[in-house]
Amino acid sequence: MGDQDWVAPAEAIRRGLRAGGVDLVVYLPESVLAPAMAAIEDDQAITTLVCTREDEGIAIAAGAALAGRTPAVLMESSGLGLSGLILARTLIHHVPLLVIASHSRVLGEAKPFHAATNVAGQGTLDGLGIPYLVVTASADLETWVEQAAVTVVGQRAVVGLLVPPHVMGGA
């Protein structure tokens, strides 16, 4: 797999965020979404912050949302398992927040060591009643990211998008 395999999906995520009005992205570096993180870093219209833990990233983004920004958080799905308390707080306070996480429990997860990641991520979203979609094709990325951002702002809600490696061009 070459670097070019990641370009179109990464750009689709960046364009979807812009089209949805996202102006702040907080992320924790990880392998699957790394190309999207790089594309977003290069976009002067979106402020980016790197966090040290996923729950910290959600807290930063939530604070920014309460101050009038439109944030998104990018992370590996396992980080959702570390973030249950702060995600619960965002729900209770109707904080608009888009969470884009790698890995899911659907097709395309070739590595057995991602099993716990998959269970933690979707289990946390399910347990908190946070609506989410698993993106199954890169052709859908831009639209789904944009519409998720629109929903987050319009409904003052948390929404998740899970992106398996194959959607980003990886295995």
CATH architecture of 4-94+116-168: 3-Layer(aba) Sandwich (3.40)
Give the alpha-carbon dihedral of 164, 165, 169, 171, to 10 degrees. Answer: -130
Phi, psi of 61 (to 5 degrees): -65, -40
112 pLDDT higher than 80? no
Please give the pLDDT value at position 1: 41
pTM for this predicted structure = 0.92
Residue ranges per domain, the chain? Answer: 4-94+116-168
d(CA 27, CA 60): 10
Q: Which value, in Å, is the radius of gyration of the alpha carbons in the chain? A: 14
Please give the pLDDT value at position 108: 63
34, 8 contact by CB (below 8 A): no
2 pLDDT higher than 60? no
